[in-house]
Structure 1
Amino acid sequence: MSPSEADTGPLAQVDCQRDAGGWTLVFVRELPQPPERVWDVLTDPAHLRAWSPYTANRNLGEVGDASLSMLDSEQPDIPTTVTRAEPPHVLEYSWQLEQFGPSALRWELEPSAGGTRLTLRRTIRDQDWISKIAAGWHLCLFVAERLLQGQPIAPIIGKAALGHGWEELHIAYATRLHISRGDP
C-alpha cells in the first residue's frame, strides 16, 4: 500500500474522455452520507472553505453568477456561472483560469446503498492536467468526507498537498488513465 492510500484512501474510479471542450476527467467516489448532506458540502461557502481549494461569494445551489476565491493564492476572484442546480442531484458551474482555459465542473449525486455515489466531471482543454487534477480532487474529497463524518481536518491544498501523497496520487492516476504524467 502506498503512503497516499494509507493516508487518503484508495484511488477513485476515473476515466478521461475527449469532448468538444477539451478533455473531461470523470472521477467517481462513494460517500457514506445521503445526497442532501453531500449537496450542502458542495454548495455552502462555509463548507467549501473547509475542504475545497476555493470558496464562493454565495451559495452555489442556485443558477446564476457567482465568484470563487482560491484559498491558496492571491489570485483575484474568479467569475463563475452556475449553469445547473438541481438539489440534491446535479450541480454544474464554469469559469476560466489562465492555466486551464475554460473549465466546467459537474457534480452528480446519486443515492447508493452506502450513501451517495458522487461523480465529478471536470472539463479542461489540456489532457496533461487530468491526472494532476485527479490527485487534487482525491485529496479534497478525502477532506470533505472527513468533514461529513464530523471529523474535520484542514484542507489539503497548494504546497501542503505534496506532504499528503499528491505526487504519488498524480503518478497513480496518470497510470490508471494511461496518460502522460507531464511535470508535477
Structure 2
Amino acid sequence: MSSDSTGAEGTHPVDIDTRIRDLPVRAEIADDTLILEVDIAGTEEQLWRAITDPEQLARWSPVVPDRPLTEVGPALSRENPEDDPVTADVLATAGQHALTHRWGDATMGWMIEEGRLDIQVGLPDVQQAQYFAAGWQVCLAVLDAQLSGLDQERIVGMEAMDHGWEELRARFAQEFGHPDGAAPEA
C-alpha cells in the first residue's frame, strides 16, 4: 500500500470530522472569559507562526489579519477577503509564546507551550461561549491536522456546520449550563 495523506505507510487517514470531534479540548468559563486548552501538534515556533502570520492564519483560522500579529498596534481582520474588516488590534505580546489581540468585540489571548495552546476569549456576552468554543474546536482541529502533515483545507463560517459544529455547540452549551440555542445567523 502506498503512502496516503497521513504520510504514514499503510495507515488510513483520520477524516477531519473525526479529528474535530476527538480533538482534546478542555473548555471552561471564568467570569466573562471562555478558556480553552488544547493539546495540539507542532513546535512552539510552528504554533507562534500559526497564530501570528496572516498567510498561516488564512489556512486555518477565521482571524486573517492585514499584518503579522507580532507587535502591539492596530490591525484589521477579515475571515474572507470580501468581508468587512473587524478590529484585530494587538494589545500585548510576550516573546514568541503569548499574544493578546482583539477580534471584533471579543479579546483573544493565546499562550503557547510545546504541544499545547491555552486560549482565553473575553466575550461581550458569556452566553456566546458555546458558539465560540465549537467554532474554535473546528478551526484548531484543522490546524492540528495541518501541523501533523495533512493537506487539510480551512473550515470556517457556515462550512463548519457540515463538520459537526452543531453537535459541538450543543455539547458546550450543556457543559456550560447555558440554554441550548440555535446557531446565530451568518
Q: TM-score range by the shorter chain?
A: 0.7 to 0.9
Which structure 2 residues correspond to residues 170-181 of structure 1 after superposition, within 5 A?
170-181=169-180
Equivalent residue, structure 2, for 1:45: 54
RMSD of aligned C-alpha atoms?
A: 1.9
Instruction: State the identity as a percent.
Output: 28
Which structure 2 residues correspond to residues 6-155 of structure 1 after superposition, within 5 A?
6-8=18-20, 9-10=22-23, 12-18=25-31, 23-71=32-80, 74-96=82-104, 102-111=105-114, 116-155=115-154
Q: What displacement does 1:94 show?
A: 1.2
Cα 1:67–1:105, aligned 2, differ >3 Å: closer, same or farther?
Answer: same
The amino acid across from 1:119 in the alignment is D
Moved over 6 A (4+): none
Which structure 2 residues correspond to residues 146-165 of structure 1 after superposition, within 5 A?
146-165=145-164
Larger deviation: 39-48 or 7-16? Answer: 7-16
TM-score normalised per structure 1: 0.84
Q: What displacement does 1:11 show?
A: 5.0
Q: What displacement does 1:74 show?
A: 4.2
Q: What displacement does 1:60 show?
A: 0.6
Q: What displacement does 1:75 show?
A: 3.4
Q: Is the 8 A contact 1:69 1:77 kept in 2?
A: yes
Q: Deviations over 1:96-147 (max 9, x none)?
A: 3xxxxx3100001123xxxx22111011121221011100000000111112
Task: Give the Cα separation in 2 of the matches to 1:29 and 1:53.
Answer: 18
Cα 1:176–1:70, aligned 2, differ >3 Å: closer, same or farther?
Answer: same
Q: Deviations over 1:141-166 (max 9, x none)?
A: 01111121221311111121111000
Q: What displacement does 1:87 show?
A: 3.1
Q: What displacement does 1:79 show?
A: 2.7
Gaps of at least 5 residues in structure 1 are 97-101
Q: Is the 8 A contact 1:7 1:164 kept in 2?
A: no
Cα 1:10–1:142, aligned 2, differ >3 Å: closer, same or farther?
Answer: closer
Task: Give the Cα separation in 1 of the matches to 2:49 and 2:172.
Answer: 28
Q: Is the 8 A contact 2:23 2:141 kept in 1?
A: no
Q: What displacement does 1:78 show?
A: 1.6
Q: Is the 8 A contact 2:93 2:100 kept in 1?
A: yes
Q: What displacement does 1:168 show?
A: 0.4
Task: Give the Cα separation in 1 of the matches to 2:56 and 2:181.
Answer: 32
